[in-house]
Structure 1
């Protein structure tokens, strides 16, 4: 049921490709036998919310500085200059300002599945959609896609975390490192790997979930607490 994963497309994902990590669980699958009442879970690695908090406390953060200051450092180091050029691309330094922090805005979220129109998910300002945010058809294959914009400064170690519960029992947890991104006017687009919704009587019903976009400094750019449903068919539109 993880609604995330994948690779950045449409724009450059510059910086920490060699250090990219990805941890995501398999979705929860019902055996399809409605008589046994058992839900079988995949064996992929996952991180708990407590483990994420521990990771955040263990990070040693370096001093922050503006993008202009970064470019002024070590001007005579040719290899470092080439790395900065690769990372920043065609960034207009005169337009990035003197901000110490990046400004990351999630612009859109949508679910794509063959045979239906894209399900565009409205992003509420308070991060708490009213009612069920969306409905997934059991046994369906789908992808989550989103776009985001980076301004003011480089965002380092942007990652997505997602946790899902059913009747107070955690059934899925995922964390994916997206990468390091330079500020630019053009938005970045991210497409997650294809997922398959669990199926069967015991897989259907209402779920609660929490999704976050955070960086290496543990700064959260978007947190959404929501509910969604798995039903026999897609919601009528």
Structure 2
């Protein structure tokens, strides 16, 4: 896990006065307030059982980054984040095509292993010709360990349109980071705009 550079535009924003709480293991959380039935049901919904199913080191495993749009007949555009580093590097060299002037959403799927991860955020910076044209930061939240992937889809946005927007390609850098500053994903990919998907 890489540590972010202090002046990196991919660092998460900091809320003044916010302090990260003391980390607790899944077992410690499972044993809290055992007599409170509704709290136990809530903890079970988070994957925190009386058996304390956690254990091992905290790990976030990114599965996919995807673009979804009601205008795309062929389904989502999916980037497989489980590939080897040299295959991931191709994502930047071989840009995907996004149809100009349509609404689309970016989504991400991931699993959590070992212990609870808190304050997970997705940060994305889009550049064209080396100049930042967009930056987005989305709070994913806190998650307990589970085998089934969590899926998060961000708010819809409209892709640029026009001949100027279609000329050239865009470079995107996506990062997933938690409250402890652990970087779970730092990947570059590219897209270009076209008249069709």
Shared fold, TM over 0.5: yes
Q: Give the length in aligned residue pairs.
A: 183
Q: 1 CA distance for matches of 2:143 and 2:68? A: 25
How far 1:206 moved relative to its partner?
0.6
* Corresponding residue to 1:120 among 72, 78, 82: 78
| 1:171-210 to 2 correspondences below 5 Å | 171-204=133-166, 205-210=168-173
| 1:46-57 to 2 correspondences below 5 Å | 49-50=8-9, 52=11, 55=14
Q: CA deviation digits over 1:199-223, x for unaligned, max 9?
A: 1122122111110111111111111
Q: 2 CA distance for matches of 1:54 and 1:140? A: 29
Q: 2 CA distance for matches of 1:174 and 1:133? A: 19
Instruction: Report the aligned-residue RMSD.
Output: 3.0
SS of the equivalent of 1:203 reads: helix
Residue aligning to 1:104: 60
Residue aligning to 1:64: 23
Q: 1 CA distance for matches of 2:109 and 2:10? A: 27
Query: Normalization by structure 2: what TM-score?
Result: 0.76
Q: 2 CA distance for matches of 1:166 and 1:111? A: 19
Runs of 4+ in 1 over 6 A off after TM superposition: none
Residue aligning to 2:117: 155
The gaps in structure 1 that reach 5 residues or longer are 1-47
Q: CA deviation digits over 1:178-212, x for unaligned, max 9?
A: 11122223222212222211011221221111101
Query: Normalization by structure 1: what TM-score?
Result: 0.65
